[in-house]
Amino acid sequence: MSYFKYEISKESDIPWLGEIPKHWEVSKAKHILFHKKKTLNPELNCGSISFGNIVYKDDDRVPIETKATYQELLKGEFLINPLNLNFDLKSLRTALSDKSVVVSTGYIVLQGNRKSNKRYLKWLLHQFDVSFMKTLGDGVRQTLSYTQFKNTVFPNIPIEEQTAIANFLDYKLEKIDRFIKKKKQLIELLAEQKAAVINQAVTKGIKPSAKLKPSGIEWLGDIPEHWELKKLKYVAKCFPSNVDKHSKEDEKEVRLCNYTDVYKNDFITNDMTLMFATAKDDQIKKFSLIKNDVVITKDSETADDIANPALVIESLENVVCGYHLSVLRPHNSLFGAYLFRALQCKPINVQFELSSMGVTRVGLGVYDLKKAKIPVPPIGEQKQISDYIQAETTRIDKTISTIEKEIGLVEEYKTALIAEAVTGKIDVRDFVVPEGGEPNVLGIAD
């Protein structure tokens, strides 16, 4: 979609702004956004910034004496997270608060001047965040100081124009966000459909006429009459890895399959980008991954996110299983792809959820892993089930991938629209919010 451009422009000589309308002025940020004096208000809930929004934190996790030192952030004020700018470059670190909370004193709290539209400043800060802020900061943690912020040059434009830009962006972006939300909901439904395919095939098989029998396990229910129910230790060798990420001179270099490699992928392949580390000869012998191995995550922050599996689908070159993972090497009676799908099945995986232990991080011991039970069809049927699941889930994954690409394109358009509006690349002064539209989606007074 094309928009009108300003007739006359000029160079701002500011890299993140570029060319701006001729009637626009520029000012240092300190004349537009003031540093709020730290005010204590322990009666408020704790808050933090997440993806450009202010969210409530779990007060129970913040000691009372710590909360009492937190600074006040009121609705309609601005927050900047100035820490670790070199970490997670895609995260949004500025927000206009739609609630009153207390936040860490490491954050910067700002108030807009009386001549500014808060909703416009929200989008201006957003653009400063994504295009320039992460080039600032000092020290190992690349921390932004208020001094650095206040001397940054911002556009300083008429209040009427600020309001027009704010109305335009609030209206347009609300529609975009609604579209993205619906697409993400569709992805969630497809993910549920994928899980249902796996659960049904692993627990009931793919032959509708098969007679069933009680499994004897409440959460598993009935299984086909000719299937067996066996503990993992009888159908696979189970062993946790002790290979860490360090490199030592007296050890041999290996490619290390780590936690995230398993957590984020269904399949481990030779062309994956794996980190290099070192291991001892006996570790290489024991933990080198081979085709048909199933690797699982053996700890997590929450019990319901443990024992995520990945299948080694081809011969690997010098790849060793890393720490925080366990290897399951199937016996001849178990097809590796079937074991992988069985561990993706919620009625099977719930056994690991129930037996995991920990406080800040839960872990799954090798004893609990070995005693877990899985339904075991004849080897030929295992392959049929695996092939069926692969075909069905591939179809669903392709649909999900197409939707994710749509979302990516729309998010790119959203980013470009914000940049063009707040830096004066498009002229929206004549934009009128359609009847029934709501520009002020945060409910914050200008």
DSSP string across 268-332:
E-TTS--EEEEE-HHHHHHHB--TT-EEEE-EESSGGG---EEEE-S--SSEEEPTTEEEEEE-T
CB under 8 Å to 178, separation ≥6 — which residues? none
> 444 pLDDT band (50/70/90 cuts)?
low
- Residue 248 included in any domain: yes
> 3 pLDDT band (50/70/90 cuts)?
confident
What CA–CA distance (Å, rounded) separates 359 from 302? 9
CB distance 229 to 223 below 8 Å: yes
- Residue 439 included in any domain: no
At 90-102, the pLDDT tens digits run 678 899 999 999 9
Instruction: Tell me what pLDDT residue 443 has.
Output: 58
- pTM to 2 decimals? 0.81
- Residue 161 included in any domain: yes
Instruction: Tell me what pLDDT residue 433 has.
Output: 85
Helix (H, G, I), strand (E, B) or coil at 363: strand
Lowest mean pLDDT among 36-45, 238-247, 299-308, 367-376: 299-308
Helix (H, G, I), strand (E, B) or coil at 355: helix
Radius of gyration of the chain from its Cα atoms, rounded to whole angstroms: 28
For the chain, helix (H) and strand (E) counts, in that order, are 10, 27
Does the pLDDT at position 428 exceed 70? yes
CB distance 26 to 18 below 8 Å: no
154 and 250 share one domain: no
- Residue 345 included in any domain: yes
Instruction: Tell me what pLDDT residue 429 has.
Output: 92
At 107-165, the pLDDT tens digits run 999 999 888 999 999 999 999 998 898 888 888 788 888 999 999 999 999 999 999 99
271 and 164 share one domain: no
Domain that holds residue 306: 228-376
Distances (CA, A) of 282 to 162, 285, 286, 444: 67, 5, 6, 63
Mean pLDDT across the chain, nearest whole number? 90
CATH assignment of the domain containing 17 = 3.90.220.20
Instruction: Tell me what pLDDT residue 118 has.
Output: 95
138 and 237 share one domain: no
- In total, how many domains does the chain have? 2
